[in-house]
Amino acid sequence: MSALLGFVLLVLCFIGNTSQSRAADGSYLHELQLRAVTAGLHQQRYWHLLLHYRPTLVGGYESEADEPGFFLAPNGKTDPKAELEATLSQFFSTELIGRSRQPGRCAFIARYHWLKAELAIDETRLPAEPCERFNSWFKELSPASMTLIFPSAYMNNPSSMFGHLLLRVDQKGQTEQTRLLAYTINYSADVTTDNGFVFAVLGVVGGFKGYFSTHPYYIKAREYGDFENRDLWEYRLNLTPEQIEHLLMHTWEMGNASLDYFFFKENCAYQILSLIEVADPDIHLTDRFWFYTFPSDGVRLIAEKPGLVKDVTFRPARATQIRRGREALSGDEQAWLSRIVRDPNEARGDSFTSLPAQRQALVLDVASDYLLYQIATGDNDTAVYRERNKAVLVARSQLKIPSVPVAIKPIAGPPEQGHDIRRVGLGTGWREGEFFNELNFRLAYHDLLDPEYGYTADAQIEALGIALRHYYRSDRTRIERFTLVNIVSLSPVNALFQSPSWKINTGFATIQHNGCRFCRIGNLNGGIGIAAESAWLKREVYFAFADLAAEYGRVFDSDYRIGGGITVGALADVTERWKIGLSGTYLQFPIGEKSGEWRISAQQRYTLHKNVALRFDFNQRAGTQEYLLNLQFYF
């Protein structure tokens, strides 16, 4: 390549000196097109990255960008060569093009920059275009480095259950204290419906358009940290100034593009990774994904590239600050905290003001965080909380001492250190006097018994799980169960936080019922409840749910039954590696086949390695007992 470039440069020195006039435009364009195609630039990875081309199954290419104005050739979406030639041709025009209405070389500045270098474009024959808008944008961003940001999972919004990815453009001279002022690069869908069902369907089939935007970090930090209570993980990337410039040039030209937004694959994580590939084409990120892109997998890919991540910073959400802040208080101080958030006048009483000023400040700081949390997330009239917060803050300001910065320890570990997302298990077990072997697979993501490090605590999301069993005595192999989705969100309550816990689960299961030994039924159930926690051993969580359940299967009289009941249970981390889960459910079905059923389960997990765990489960359902010893691998 460099030899070719050298040769081209040499040739250009001669040609350039002989043609000063733009009258030679036509011939120069023709020459550039010829050289570009001869050099095979349209087949190069970088060209494909800039245009977001992907190989198709039939051997061609298709771009993932979906806005006609992003392509300069009519068939540019599927023809990298035609697009290359049309791009060069557009460079000779000052016509304003694209959604951004700029001359071709400014609207598609990354393409120009690259082709100029590859073809050694002679600016005496193609005079430079000033591109003032790009220059002032770039100056305003004032880039010094790039940081990948992972807002962790947010259980109470289905569109954020797996986290998110965005980039932050760290500014020159930025400090830990002023990173809020940096701009971010965010990719998100322009959602055009408020109907949940339409939202789901359009999201899956790519019915929304995705756009890139540059919100200040303080807006995103507030959105995630204050409103949604999502901890943020920040990964500063080791990119050269030149790589950063390439990334931002490409981001600028993506201002002309919209891309069909697909929930599962071509989502925020996928498109943010596609920008990082432009910064360094040698790292392959997006082609590692086939059917879905998890934001945490994106972080994992970035983190495993040697030397790519310079440092990792944890930025706690408001709720995390409150929780850790409260933990740092003594029992008496916690009691003060509870009183003050209800009646701030307590902070003026003699017994509180006789505490050391530093301790008063700690209590008042947590109190104000808590009141702001209520204002941002509360259902009730927030004016009350606002007034209380003002009173707390006036008391705080009168202490006349600055708050000591406290390092907040994360509640969940960094996402890239958690177990991998897919899981396969090999097991052996016993069911009603019969041995069986089991092979199970789960596409995603995490259940309450999986090793918790790196995952949001007390949150379970399982999607697309299947278990195959071979029974020895009856010599049959069958699909024992299938999980479409199984979500549990436990929110332990304490003196400050009271949110409901909830769960939903649907799929197929095998039961023994009405004399049928292996009967497949479809089930849908959900529940709403309450959870609490303690720290006797390490950490224990207790829960109780009111359940609703519907089951369908030919085994039932009239083919179905609908009912409800209650579930109580507990989870306990006995050691770092050993976790136990117990639960009991009673369901009564008054609709359809009238029946009642007890279910008991006792599960244990022992972590052998980040990605290997041993499980031992006991399940009893309507008198049918089953034991399963299962070795699970995450990959």
Partner 1 sequence: MSKAKWLQIGVALLPLCATGVWAAANPDNGPGCGLGKLAWSDYDHPKSIAPQVMMATTNGTFGSQTFGISSGTSGCTNDGTIMAEHKVNVFAAANYESLSQEMARGGGEHLASLAELMGVPEETRPEFFALAQTQYASLVASGNTTPAAMIETLQSGMKTHPNLIKVSSN
**E strands present in 349-475:** 423-431, 434-446, 459-471
**E strands present in 490-594:** 501-513, 516-534, 539-552, 560-573, 578-592
91 near partner 1, judged by CB under 8 A:
no
Pattern 248-277, binding to partner 1, x per CB under 8 A?
---xxxxxx----x-xx--xxx--------
**E strands present in 195-334:** 208-213, 232-237, 259-261, 309-315
- Whole-number Å distance between alpha carbons of 275 and 285: 10
Helix (H, G, I), strand (E, B) or coil at 7: helix
495 near partner 1, judged by CB under 8 A:
no
- How near is the Cβ of 502 to partner 1 at its closest, in Å? 6
523 near partner 1, judged by CB under 8 A:
no
Distances (CA, A) of 505 to 270, 338, 489, 615, 626: 28, 37, 12, 21, 21
196 near partner 1, judged by CB under 8 A:
yes
Pattern 121-140, binding to partner 1, x per CB under 8 A?
------------xx-xx--x
Distances (CA, A) of 138 to 149, 181, 266: 21, 15, 27
CB-CB neighbours of 40 under 10 Å: 11
* Only segment of 14-22, 206-214, 566-574, 612-620 that touches partner 1 (CB under 8 A): 206-214
Structure tokens at 11: 């040739």
- Whole-number Å distance between alpha carbons of 316 and 322: 10
Q: Can you spell out the DSSP letters for 180-215?
A: GGSEEEEEEEE-----HHHHHHHHHHT-EEEEEE--
CB 620 within 8 Å of CB 628: no
What is the SS3 string spanning 251-263? Answer: HHHHCCCCEEECC
452 near partner 1, judged by CB under 8 A:
no
CB 496 within 8 Å of CB 510: no
Sites for partner 1 among residues 284-303 (CB under 8 A): 292-295
626 near partner 1, judged by CB under 8 A:
no
Report the residue from 24, 37, 191, 411 that binds partner 1 according to the rule CB under 8 A: 191
* Cis ω for the linkage preceding 217 (within 30 of 0): no
CB 118 within 8 Å of CB 43: no
Report the residue from 15, 24, 200, 468 that binds partner 1 according to the rule CB under 8 A: 200
Measured from the CB atom, the residue of 237 and 367 that comes closer to partner 1 is 367
- How near is the Cβ of 225 to partner 1 at its closest, in Å? 10
530 near partner 1, judged by CB under 8 A:
no
Report the residue from 487, 550, 555, 571 that binds partner 1 according to the rule CB under 8 A: 487
449 near partner 1, judged by CB under 8 A:
no
Sites for partner 1 among residues 382-421 (CB under 8 A): 382-383, 386, 389-390, 393-394, 396-398, 400-403
Measured from the CB atom, the residue of 76 and 203 that comes closer to partner 1 is 203
Is the CA virtual torsion 384, 385, 389, 395 positive or negative?
A: positive
- How near is the Cβ of 169 to partner 1 at its closest, in Å? 10
378 near partner 1, judged by CB under 8 A:
yes
- How near is the Cβ of 200 to partner 1 at its closest, in Å? 4
207 near partner 1, judged by CB under 8 A:
no
CA angle 376, 152, 229 (to 5 degrees): 15
361 near partner 1, judged by CB under 8 A:
yes
215 near partner 1, judged by CB under 8 A:
yes
Site size with partner 1, rule: CB under 8 A: 110
498 near partner 1, judged by CB under 8 A:
no
Report the residue from 102, 505, 567, 603 that binds partner 1 according to the rule CB under 8 A: 102
Measured from the CB atom, the residue of 180 and 600 that comes closer to partner 1 is 180
Measured from the CB atom, the residue of 384 and 622 that comes closer to partner 1 is 384
Sites for partner 1 among residues 148-167 (CB under 8 A): 151, 156-165
